[in-house]
Amino acid sequence: MGNSSADIEALLVDVTDPDNPTPGMLPAILRDIVGRLDAAGLSYAVVGRIALTMHEQARFVGEIEIVADLEPHVGGRAAELMRATRARFAVHMDPHQCQRPIDLTLRPCTNATEAGLLAEAVTRPWFGAPARLASAEHLLWLWCRTEAPDHAMNASALIAGGTVDLHRVQGLLRENDDVEESGQRRLRLAIGDAVLSATSSFSRFMGERRARLASNRVPVWRLRPAEAADGADL
């Protein structure tokens, strides 16, 4: 762990249209909704790819996903917060006004483990404001619980980053998994993908390194014994 929100901001550029201001508005939108949640006294945690960047590496993100403690009587208040943020940034969030809008999701906890997710969230300065971000273990648990187009990729990237306690994730899955252990199966697949990715990256690095070396170059560890032998012959 060690990425900063500044690293992400540098990537918030639409490469197909560099003059498009919408990607760069994501930090302001996050600050706005997080500020509203704090002002309302609601417990929350930022999840999804934007939280993944804290644990793995900076990457482009176009959506904000937040889990919050929304009791039935708080649901209306949460909807008001969402409407207020969307109204303020409508030009960048309304699909009728923006070709590739920034997506914002605010949803309630669905079980006891997600309630624990909120309790263990890490408070960190994020885009210039304190924000509560989900732990690596809870992120991986979320992505292994359900199947979605980007969940397997996110899970593999998080494991490859080396900041997640896999035994803890297995325990979280056992608390909530179904009889078919689909979550455990997804976790095993993600671990395998992460290992293959790391092996491929290392092999590519070594191949590029060998290509940069001159064919007639003699490694230092071979030169030293030869020099010692020459000195003994004098």
Q: What are phi and psi of 153, to 5 degrees?
A: -65, -45
Q: What are phi and psi of 146, to 5 degrees?
A: -130, 160
Q: Is the pLDDT of residue 7 over 80?
A: yes
More confident residue, 200 or 182: 182
Q: Is the pLDDT of residue 27 over 90?
A: yes
Pairing of strands 129-133, 122-126: antiparallel
More confident residue, 217 or 38: 38
Q: Is the pLDDT of residue 44 over 90?
A: yes
How high is the mean pLDDT of the chain?
84
Q: What are phi and psi of 103, to 5 degrees?
A: -100, 135
Collapse the DSSP code of 26 into the 3-class scheme (helix H, G, I; strand E, B; otherwise coil) and give the result. helix
Structure tokens at 189: 């697949």
More confident residue, 55 or 178: 55
Mean pLDDT of 140-162: 89
Q: Is the pLDDT of residue 158 over 80?
A: yes
Distance set, CA 138 to CA 53, 68, 75 (Å): 14, 14, 23
* Portion of the chain with pLDDT greater than 90, in percent: 49
Residue 45, strand partner residues: 67
pLDDT for res 174: 86
| Domain ranges, ordered by start, for the chain | 1-134, 135-234
> Of 25-29, 153-157, 220-224, where does the model show the most confidence?
25-29
Element of type H or E holding 221? helix 220-233
Output the DSSP codes for 50-111.
Answer: HHHHHHS------EEEEEE---GGGHHHHHHHHHHHHHHTHHHH-TTT-SSPPEEEEEE--S
Mean pLDDT of 139-164: 89
Pair 205, 187: CB distance under 8 Å: no
Residue 211: pLDDT band (50, 70, 90) is low
* Burial per residue of 95-112, b for 16 or more beta-carbon CB atoms within 10 angstroms, e otherwise: eeebeebbebebeebeee
pLDDT digits (tens, 9 = 90+) for 94-137: 999 998 999 999 999 888 889 999 999 999 999 999 999 999 99
pLDDT for res 117: 93
